Amino acid sequence: MLAVLFAATAASSPNTAPDCGCGKSLPKSVELDKSVDLTLESESGVSPRKYRLHIPPSYDNNNPVPLILSFHGRGKNAKYQEALSQFSNASYGFEGIVAYPEGVPVP
């Protein structure tokens, strides 16, 4: 996920040359225009970390795409945040990747 964040940041930076996208295929568990729940192993903090990912139907791995990290509030979850934000809803006009990180459970 961090690689996607860095690629999106570099692609949107006005001081860098235009990027041609990462050129990598999507993981087998990820389909265009379908949200999927994934996990990310971490060597620091709580691991594994869960997140929900949505790739727009227009995604082309040869072109740069914006990335939004959409965080939920306390007591909510990634699926709730996706429904609230509507970033995954193509009819609202956003054509980028959206990651909805799951918060760390509070004891």
Q: 3-state SS string over the chain?
A: CHHHHHHHHHHHCCCCCCCCCCCCCCCCCCCCCCCEEEEECCCCCCCCEEEEEECCCCCCCCCCCCEEECCCCCCCCHHHHHHHHCCCCHHHCCCCEEEEECCCCCC
Where in the sequence is the domain holding 80, given as residue range(s)? 2-10+22-101
- Would you state the pLDDT for residue 1? 44
Q: At 82, which CATH number? A: 3.40.50.1820
What are 25-79's pLDDT values in tens digits?
898 999 999 999 999 998 877 888 899 999 999 999 999 999 999 999 888 999 9
The per-residue pLDDT for 5 is 41
Q: What is the pLDDT of residue 15?
A: 52
Residue range 14-27, pLDDT digits in tens: 555 556 778 888 98
Q: Is residue 33 part of a domain?
A: yes
Q: Is 52 among the domain residues?
A: yes
pLDDT at 47: 82
Number of domains into which the chain is organized: 1
Residue 15 lies in a domain: no
In a domain, 107, yes or no: no
Residue 86 lies in a domain: yes
Arithmetic mean of pLDDT, 91-98: 90
Q: What is the pLDDT of residue 2?
A: 41
Cα(73)–Cα(103) distance, integer angstroms: 8
Residue 16 covered by a domain: no
